[in-house]
Amino acid sequence: MQIHEFAPNTLVKDKISEGEFTIAPIGDLQLMGANDKQVALNRFKRHLEIVENEFPNVYYLGMGDYIDFMSPSNRESLKQAKVYDASREYIERAAYTLADEFLALVEKTKDRWLGLLSGHHFYESPDGTNTDQYIARKLKAPYLEKCGYISLTLARPDGKTRGTINIWCHHGVGSSKYPVSKLVNQVVPFWPEADLYFMGHMHACDHYRINRMVVRGQEVVEQNSLAVVTGGWLKSHTENQTSYIEEKMLSPRAVGQPIVVVKPYMDARGLFRRKLRYIDDV
């Protein structure tokens, strides 16, 4: 697990302690593997425009699977294969060209990433680095590997103390009929200090609100958290084409990703509080 503390004094438009800000998960675009690539790309571009133009102070969180170049078994097969060095170099150039294609799509988001997870689908160079690390470096984002824990530290208006919003995030594994249950049952009970739990991989948009009571000073207060499954951009059914989703008779998945709007505030007792608003695919 990669642990990072992020402590901005200001966001794009306002002081972080004086207004709302937005967390936008981005991932599971799988550029090469999209069944109808142009449909997914057009929706993704529109999604970015809406998030940038209609929501306050946006920060991004990379959820993995930005390209679909190789699965884990593909990477292992390539390592074992007898391939000319020139052929390997050609494969590598193709992989990084695809990574650059993703970077071109998110160019305006640079410097506003809380972190970037690695997924299952990427290319690994002979030196051990991979395309997900390359994307993180280009976006000036902390590379979170498979699982990250981010403490987003906010300055309070009184300047005396600070408030913290903790984020647990993972690309995700396996499959589930009810994807959010994997978070609620297998993660939330064991990471009680998180305010937000993000998981990708399953190409489903879903969320669950966790109601907790916590002690702050000498008082018991309500502290809600959100578990969020972050969707994706792989179109499951397309006219005149057959996808693996159809072949395996899997349930359809909507194309798109949700966002979370965070409103930090001080309550009447001087306690740092925050409201979390889940918004489905925009």
Mean pLDDT by 10 residues, the chain (282 residues): 76 53 91 64 92 93 88 72 76 89 94 93 87 96 95 71 86 77 88 92 88 82 91 73 66 82 83 89 74
- In the prediction, which pLDDT does 74 show? 77
Q: How far is CA 282 from CA 110, 146, 182, in A?
A: 21, 26, 24
Which residue has 């000319």 as its token pair?
A: 84
- In the prediction, which pLDDT does 191 show? 86
Give every CB contact of residue 183 below 8 A, 6+ residues apart in sequence.
197, 199, 208, 227, 228, 229
What whole-number distance in Å separates Cα of residue 240 and Cα of residue 83?
36
Quick one: which H or E segment has residue 77? Answer: helix 72-80
User: Where in the sequence is the domain holding 11, given as residue range(s)?
Assistant: 2-279
- Both tokens of 213, joined, read 């009571």
- In the prediction, which pLDDT does 195 show? 95
Give every CB contact of residue 260 below 8 A, 6+ residues apart in sequence.
22, 23, 196, 226, 228, 276, 277, 278, 279
Dmax (CA) for the chain in angstroms is: 69
Burial class (CB in 10 A: 0-12, 13-18, 19+), 128: exposed
What is the count of structural domains for the chain? 1
- In the prediction, which pLDDT does 212 show? 86
What whole-number distance in Å separates Cα of residue 225 and Cα of residue 238?
36
In eight-state DSSP terms, residue 211 is P
- In the prediction, which pLDDT does 11 show? 45
- In the prediction, which pLDDT does 35 show? 52
- In the prediction, which pLDDT does 18 show? 55
- Both tokens of 173, joined, read 């594994």
What whole-number distance in Å separates Cα of residue 268 and Cα of residue 111?
35
